[in-house]
């Protein structure tokens, strides 16, 4: 299957990053969101990222122009009707995602694969909003999508072998290292491992065992991780981490280990969502 035109629904941090990655491999990309301000913010984010690449000697001015020239922003989802491949990157909310998939299913050609960038929600449930569940799969990029090499390719119950192969091949073309998640299990692989790390790190601080700074230092120097859990939560968004915890808690037998700590809830209520609000576990 030849993929020349990719549609991305959602112009936020993940959506705009995926758009840039797709444009860098020569695809024409249409980035759609519900309001002009979101679309423009996504385009500005891509421009800024490429400018930093020029400053670091990773990108030339000519390459930046070429990449930006392949990207178009729109608020009209109908403009995605001619896309060869779709990636959804909207909010981590099942109802919102199902609404998007229902619209896309009625819009694009029957052979088009529709992927979701969800980090934990059931692919099978999302696909149930379509008449093509065999052509729906998870394509979970990591933040920032331009730099992080991993892509989780997740099978829904009905995802065909052909669909999974196409998604894996596209991820490889994008310069990524895909892994196949063979069962549609909550949290997939990375979040299933990472979220308990987050919860235990917060509990250590709640119990007065160590500070935020020292927990991060311990993980970086003791486990050789590039970032500590609190630095990572601030980067990805504390609200997103909370929603994933709540989802895993509901789906995985409500075990206590998946329950979101009170300290995280308090932080979110205070509006400290991380880097995007200039304050989370740390000030920015």
Question: Which sequence positions are flagged as catalytic?
Answer: 119, 140, 152, 191
Indicate the angle between helix axes 61-69 and 13-24, nearest 10 degrees.
110
Diameter of the chain measured on Cα atoms: 56
50, with CB counted inside 10 A (0-12, 13-18, 19+), is buried
Q: What angle do CA 201, 145, 122 make, to 5 degrees?
A: 70
Give how far Cα 168 sits from Cα of 137, 173, 273, Å: 10, 9, 32
Residue among 247, 147, 126 nearest 192 (CA)? 247
Please name the residues in contact with 256: beta carbons below 8 A apart, sequence gap of 6 or more.
Answer: none
Distance CA 273, CA 17 (A): 20
Give how far Cα 241 sits from Cα of 97, 153, 190, 215, 256, Å: 18, 20, 13, 18, 16
The CA-based dihedral angle spanning residues 92, 95, 97, 100, taken in that order and rounded to the nearest 10 degrees: -150
CA count, 13 A, side-chain hemisphere, 86: 30
């Amino acid at each position: 299957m030849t993929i020349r035109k990719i549609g991305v629904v959602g112009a936020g941090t993940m959506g705009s990053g995926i758009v840039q990655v797709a444009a860098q491999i020569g695809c024409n990309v249409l980035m759609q969101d519900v309001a002009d301000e979101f679309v423009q913010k996504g385009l500005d984010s891509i421009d800024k990222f490429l400018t930093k690449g020029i400053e670091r000697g990773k990108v030339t001015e000519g390459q930046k122009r070429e990449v930006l020239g392949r990207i178009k922003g729109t608020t009209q989802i109908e403009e995605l009707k001619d896309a060869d491949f779709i990636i959804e990157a909207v909010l981590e909310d099942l109802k919102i995602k199902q609404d998007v998939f229902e619209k896309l299913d009625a819009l694009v050609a029957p052979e088009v694969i529709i992927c979701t960038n969800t980090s934990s929600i059931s692919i099978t449930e999302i696909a149930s909003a379509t008449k093509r569940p065999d052509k729906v799969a998870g394509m979970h990029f990591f933040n920032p999508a331009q730099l992080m090499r991993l892509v989780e390719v997740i099978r829904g119950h009905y995802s065909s072998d052909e669909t999974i192969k196409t998604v894996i091949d596209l991820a490889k073309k994008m310069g990524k290292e895909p892994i196949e998640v063979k069962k549609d299990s909550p949290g997939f692989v990375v979040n299933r491992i990472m979220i308990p790390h987050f919860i235990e790190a917060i509990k250590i601080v709640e119990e007065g065992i160590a500070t935020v700074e020292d927990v991060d230092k311990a993980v970086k120097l003791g486990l050789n991780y590039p970032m500590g859990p609190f630095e990572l939560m601030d980067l990805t968004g504390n609200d997103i981490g909370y929603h994933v915890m709540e989802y895993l808690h509901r789906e995985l037998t409500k075990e206590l280990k998946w329950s979101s700590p009170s300290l995280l809830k308090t932080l979110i209520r205070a509006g400290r969502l991380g880097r995007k609000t200039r304050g989370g576990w740390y000030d920015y």
